[in-house]
């Protein structure tokens, strides 16, 4: 199989707070910095979803990127865009709203839907700020 990797980019903005109520303000500030702000704050996230496959004989596509976009929008973007990750997002309930955990949550939301379309989800890249992003490969070691 001539495996090739395709990526769809989507964006959303959302509020969150990284804060443990069982810790003092000083410890929260120390560990989480500005992300521990009591009164919330937001980020403009960039999400990259990468799918592996072989180009179809018929279309030349691994997977229709428009279809991939629709899956991401209906399963992730609609649930999270302009929302509060800690309070509003079903798949993040009770979980620390770090970028790491959000990337894992997004993977779990879309993995089966993508695989059902013949692609194989291999990577979620989630950019939180200009300087910080995470990559998740389904818990496997990529390299
Ligand atoms: Ni933050």
* Domain parsing of the chain, residue ranges: 4-136
Active site includes 41?
no
Q: Name which of 80, 88, 7, 17 is nearest 50 in CA terms.
A: 7
Kindly give the distance from the C-alpha atom of residue 18 to the centroid of ligand 1, in angstroms, as a whole number: 7
Active-site hit among 16, 35, 43, 109: 35
Predicted TM-score (pTM) of this structure: 0.94
Kindly give the distance from the C-alpha atom of residue 135 to the centroid of ligand 1, in angstroms, as a whole number: 17
Kindly give the distance from the C-alpha atom of residue 69 to the centroid of ligand 1, in angstroms, as a whole number: 25
The pLDDT value given to residue 38: 87
Active site includes 43?
no
Kindly give the distance from the C-alpha atom of residue 17 to the centroid of ligand 1, in angstroms, as a whole number: 6
List, for residues 49-107, the tens digit of each pLDDT value: 999 999 999 999 999 999 999 999 999 999 999 999 999 999 999 999 999 999 999 99
Active-site hit among 128, 130, 135, 141: 128
Task: Write the class of the CATH domain 4-136.
Answer: alpha beta
Active site includes 120?
no
In degrees to the nearest 10, what's the CA dihedral of 47, 51, 56, 61? Answer: 20
| DSSP per position, 62-92 | SS-HHHHHHHHIIIIIHHHTTEEHHHH-GGG
Kindly give the distance from the C-alpha atom of residue 57 to the centroid of ligand 1, in angstroms, as a whole number: 44
Kindly give the distance from the C-alpha atom of residue 118 to the centroid of ligand 1, in angstroms, as a whole number: 35
Confidence of residue 31 (pLDDT cuts 50, 70, 90): very high
């Amino acid at each position: 199989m001539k495996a090739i990797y395709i990526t769809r980019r989507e964006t959303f903005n959302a509020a969150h707070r990284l804060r443990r109520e069982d810790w003092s303000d000083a410890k929260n500030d120390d560990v989480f910095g500005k992300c521990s702000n009591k009164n919330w704050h937001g980020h403009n996230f960039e999400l990259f979803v990468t799918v592996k496959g072989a180009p179809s004989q018929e279309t030349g596509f691994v997977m229709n990127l428009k279809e991939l976009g629709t899956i991401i929008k209906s399963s992730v973007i609609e649930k999270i865009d302009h929302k509060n990750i800690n309070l509003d997002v079903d798949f993040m309930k009770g979980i620390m709203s770090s970028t790491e955990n959000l990337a894992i949550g997004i993977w779990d939301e879309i993995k089966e839907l993508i695989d059902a379309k013949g692609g194989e989800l291999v990577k979620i890249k989630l950019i939180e700020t200009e300087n910080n992003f995470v990559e998740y490969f389904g818990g496997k070691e990529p390299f």
